[in-house]
Structure 1
């Protein structure tokens, strides 16, 4: 797989050495057991896969190279390039400005842009409408494009099944930049609807089975279906794709549920299901799959708590938190700075969208085992900083360098 020129500030000697050695030992990526790091009374179990993925490294390389090669020019990002506060802060410090926030609210008027300005498309991609707006301003919309190839793969899949007269159901967060972009691309080819979770899928299945009055659909799914969507016609032949960072098990469950609803309603045997349900297979990216599977493998080991590191608005990170929360006390932090002391920390409750201050997160016992992972947009340097902070609470930070040397 291609390697990228990512700024050294995001790298970690410790994490790089561990990842490289694990890769050599497990080239087929079949071993999802965590890496065990011992720091006296503290054992840290590090997930087999975590951190920067292909799409993130690709986006970072393009964005930083664009800044370096265009000194003196005005450079804009449509919105956050990835959902990591440190990376976005570094770009802002280099003079890059955001045109919109992550919800799509305009921060800088379109009318203020000039043809010579540079606009970078973030890793989530963007809508066809925004591409057209940039083109109308004399700006080539895809000249500085960091859209993740795995996001584009979803767009291609939607176009492919749309060309065969299937309606596309997108499993994603309706307000997320990637889902907005996927919805825009898909609806240009075929009727499209977004479902955010299994609860909405149950409601959609009621319309597929004609158990709910058709007129109720338009209010219930307001803002989540394409123009001209006809609930009496467009749910008879469907395929499911997803926002690439969603929980894999949930996407599969949604696809299975829709398939079952279609099969039962039209009384189709298994060998005829393709007449009305497209085999899209999984459209999650490899990193989302690997990171989630690595967390599942990590949770098979006895531990006292889990710490997940990443941007608070990172979808893929929040799903790692969800998985950990099923089994352990879990703390979602954005950096080592959130670890105030061995007794207190600041952490994010993504369910209620608030940062909390908690005490007693490290259990009062002789030996502590802690699970650690991070999201796909989190630099390895931050994960190492978290490890150093935790080891430092026990007066053992010096062992981190010894551990890095042992893995090198």
Structure 2
């Protein structure tokens, strides 16, 4: 069985930046998981004593607090900055952008629509910058239920969503409301990884998507691969691999989410190469 890696996969700019910040800071605590990859979080804890806090209330007495790549709600950030804690902001610049857009456009009287998962930490953070709140939707069906107060609407997207689904949202709004400002805030690395995964899945007869199972961008990659290759599987470590997936297969495609480090990818590819098919 041949193993083929996607043309584009793995760590994005924002994650590389956050990991470097954490490694250089040491003996710090992150507000929420720094990235959505448990294996890498464990490595940072074991090698650099970077711990994970789940709420800012746990930051009392902490010397250094690193803001996760997904960002945190505006009020939480303001509270931390007023405390005695040294705050190091590792929020991805691609996430900071929709935060700034929401704040600016809501100040100018626009109602805010965020295309994304309301429970995702990135979206919670972005929503907190909309002065009068925001409408968070994941589909046109959800959008149809929203009752807008006026005709001025600004739209942003969670950075890891599918562009095709974002276009469905914007097209729906543009044909129904007088003034719609569209800001495509999907990350470039997301575009590249998704396009590469799509092309790989078209030719492979089994695809392994490597990444955190709570990672939005990894789940999107898995969803795309499933569209073109039904035998597509999401794994976090080599322990998740099932030899039966590869029986009778001739080409195994491998891709990875933006929070997946090379050392995990290499470990899993090595394990796949050992499986007898």
User: Which residue, 31, 41, 49 being the options, matches 1:95?
Assistant: 49
Moved over 4 A (4+): none
The match for 2:175 is 260
CA distance in 1, matches of 2:226, 2:140: 19
Whether 1:129 aligns to 2:75 is yes
CA distance in 2, matches of 1:295, 1:261: 34
Aligned residues: CA RMSD? 2.1
Tell me the SS of whatever aligns to 2:19. helix
CA distance in 2, matches of 1:99, 1:380: 25
Whether 1:197 aligns to 2:100 is no
CA distance in 2, matches of 1:327, 1:245: 20
CA distance in 1, matches of 2:143, 2:200: 30
From the CA coordinates, give the structure whose radius of gyration is larger. Answer: 1
CA contact (8 A) 1:79 1:99 kept: yes
User: Which residue, 73, 80, 83 being the options, matches 2:36?
Assistant: 83
Q: CA deviation at 1:176?
A: 0.9
User: Which residue, 52, 65, 73 being the options, matches 2:11?
Assistant: 52
User: Which residue, 237, 243, 267 being the options, matches 2:152?
Assistant: 237
What is the number of residues matched between the two proteins? Answer: 275
CA distance in 2, matches of 1:132, 1:279: 28
Whether 1:306 aligns to 2:207 is yes
Tell me the SS of whatever aligns to 1:319. helix
| Residue correspondence of structure 1 range 2-401 to structure 2 within 5 A | 42-67=1-26, 75-93=28-46, 94-100=48-54, 106=55, 109-110=57-58, 113-114=60-61, 117-140=63-86, 143-185=87-129, 187-188=130-131, 190-204=132-146, 207=147, 231=148, 233=149, 235-262=150-177, 273=178, 276-280=179-183, 282-301=184-203, 303-328=204-229, 329-340=231-242, 342-343=243-244, 361-364=245-248, 368-394=250-276
List alignment gaps of at least 5 residues for structure 1. 1-41, 101-105, 208-230, 263-272, 344-360, 396-408
Q: CA deviation at 1:66?
A: 0.3
Residue deviations 1:89-120 (CA, integer Å, cap 9, x gap): 122224333221xxxxx4x844x613x61111
CA contact (8 A) 2:33 2:53 kept: no
